[in-house]
Amino acid sequence: MDRLEKQLQFIYEIDKVKSIVRKTRLFHADKYENDAEHSWHICMMALILQEYADVEIDTLKVIKMMLIHDLVEIDTGDIIVYSKTQVDVEAEEKAARRIFGLLPDGQGDEYFELWREFEDRKTPEARYAMALDRMEPLLQNLYRRGADWNRNGIPYSKVIEINKKVAGGSKQLWEYLKREIDSINKIGGFENE
In a domain, 63, yes or no: yes
pLDDT at 91: 92
In a domain, 95, yes or no: yes
In a domain, 192, yes or no: no
Residue (of 158, 147, 143, 159) closest to 41 by Cα position: 143
Is the pLDDT reported for residue 193 higher than 70?
A: no
In a domain, 23, yes or no: yes
In a domain, 175, yes or no: yes
- The helices-and-strands tally (H runs, E runs) of the chain is 10, 2
How far is CA 38 from each of CA 46, 48, 106, rounded to the nearest angstrom?
Answer: 12, 15, 27
CA distance 192 to 160: 14
Residue (of 154, 117, 16) closest to 75 by Cα position: 16
In three-state form (DSSP H/G/I as H, E/B as E, the rest C), the secondary structure along 12-48 is HHHHHHHHCEEEEECCCCCCEEEHHHHHHHHHHHHHH
Q: CATH number of the domain that 75 lies in?
A: 1.10.3210.10
Q: What global pTM score does this model have?
A: 0.92
pLDDT at 78: 87
Question: What percentage of the chain exceeds 90 in pLDDT?
Answer: 79
- For the stretch 20-39, what's the b/e string if a residue is b when 16 or more beta carbons lie within 10 angstroms of its beta carbon? bebbbbbeeeeeebbbbbbb
Task: Indicate the pairing of strand 21-25 with strand 32-34.
Answer: antiparallel
Is the pLDDT reported for residue 97 higher than 90?
A: yes
The 10s digit of each residue's pLDDT in 39-94 is 999 999 999 999 999 999 999 999 999 999 999 999 998 887 887 777 788 999 99
Number of structural domains found in the chain: 1
In a domain, 41, yes or no: yes
In a domain, 112, yes or no: yes
In a domain, 193, yes or no: no
DSSP symbol at 148: H
Residue ranges making up the domain that contains 92:
3-186
